[in-house]
A = this chain, B = another copy of it.
Amino acid sequence: MPIGEFDIIKKYFTRLGCGRGVQLGVGDDCALLSVPEGKQLAVSMDTLVAGVHFPKNSDPELIAERALRVNLSDLAAMGAEPLWFTLGLTLPDADPLWLNGFSQGLFNAADEFYCVLVGGDTTHGPLSITIQVHGAIDADHALLRSGANVGDLVLVTGTLGDAAAALAVIQGRLEVGEQGFHYLMQSFYRPKPQLHEGQLLAHIASAAIDISDGLIADLGHICEESLVGAIIDIDRLPLSGLMEKRVEPVQAVMWALSGGDDYQLCFTLPPQNLNKLEILIKQGKINATIVGEIVSGSGVTCLKDGKPVQISASGYNHFKS
């Protein structure tokens, strides 16, 4: 590399000032941090590898934005409030243009969600980014995957499938016009971690997960950990205006069910808390849609017109019975 590790850290990743609870940030053997009194620490780590999780020639600003937002989404899924993050950055070379863009995107997202960079490591090697986020949460209010009960409603925040549509556009399989392109690229590279929503839901929901692998897969994790089953009514899946206008209906439903990368929350709600949720929805504090119910048994079953349908890579079909 033309410049060394210490210079990269100093030039691109050290900012003056410090965040809440940061006694010592970037630059010593460790960062020293104070967790707010009475709170637990929630931590999550994600690695993004070039050529696997994003195209190698992606805009570095967008890679950084996405990397931090995707990690923050894990805090949202627990109902935690962001505090700090660490960055493990492996670089094939120290390209100043790339580093400028990357650090710009990183600090944009960090500032938007009040999450402070406190340390990390910069090494030479194939491009990859590991981020660990740290959040604070009331000990008794964490949203676990294991809390769902039979009879709970299944809900999702926002709309589903836009990230899969974005991928189709990137790969040349879908044409959506200039405005649609801009909207989908924002959805893909700048997903909005549902942090405020998660913190509100921590007091009324029974379980939650963020939708990274697709609704069926992620709701499946809740079912597995809670020892229950779930049904999804595919007519109730919330779709964006663009999906409704530009994408063929069966394809739109497939992307909403299995597309992944949307980083909305899927959560379960005891029916007696529905009125509390409706108040939050009316106040504009959360956007959520009922899509199904927790049932006894195991696995996720999709219904159309009240009848089970089978989901496959090519679409969905009513079970032959």
Contact = CB atoms under 8 A, between A and B. Distances in A.
A235 interface: no
A44 B23 contact: no
Nearest to A31: B43
A132 B121 CA distance: 10
Interface residues of A, number: 57
Nearest to A145: B28
A145 B32 CA distance: 13
B32 A41 contact: yes
Contacts of A35: 35, 41
A199 interface: no
A135 interface: yes
Contacts of A126: 49, 125-126, 128
Contacts of A139: 23, 34
Nearest to A210: B29
B80 A30 contact: yes
Contacts of A209: 29
A75 B23 contact: no
Contacts of A30: 42-44, 74-75, 77-78, 80, 135, 142
A78 to B, nearest CB: 5
A60 to B, nearest CB: 18
Contacts of A87: 45
Contacts of A28: 78, 144-146, 225
A47 interface: yes
A261 B225 CA distance: 43
Interface string A120-141: 1101111010101011010100
Interface in A30-55: 30-35, 40-53
B119 A44 contact: yes
B23 A33 contact: no
Nearest to A43: B31
A54 to B, nearest CB: 12
A142 B31 contact: no
A101 interface: no
- Among A41, A86, A137, residue most surrounded by chain B Cβ atoms (within 10 Å): A41
The 6 closest A-B pairs by CB, nearest first: A49-B125, A29-B77, A30-B42, A88-B130, A126-B126, A130-B130
Given A24-B142, A29-B75, A86-B132, 15 more contacts: A28-B78, A29-B208, A30-B80, A30-B135, A32-B40, A34-B41, A34-B139, A43-B86, A43-B118, A43-B119, A45-B87, A49-B125, A53-B123, A90-B128, A126-B128
12 contacts: A23-B142, A29-B44, A29-B78, A30-B44, A31-B42, A33-B43, A35-B35, A45-B86, A47-B121, A49-B124, A125-B128, A132-B132
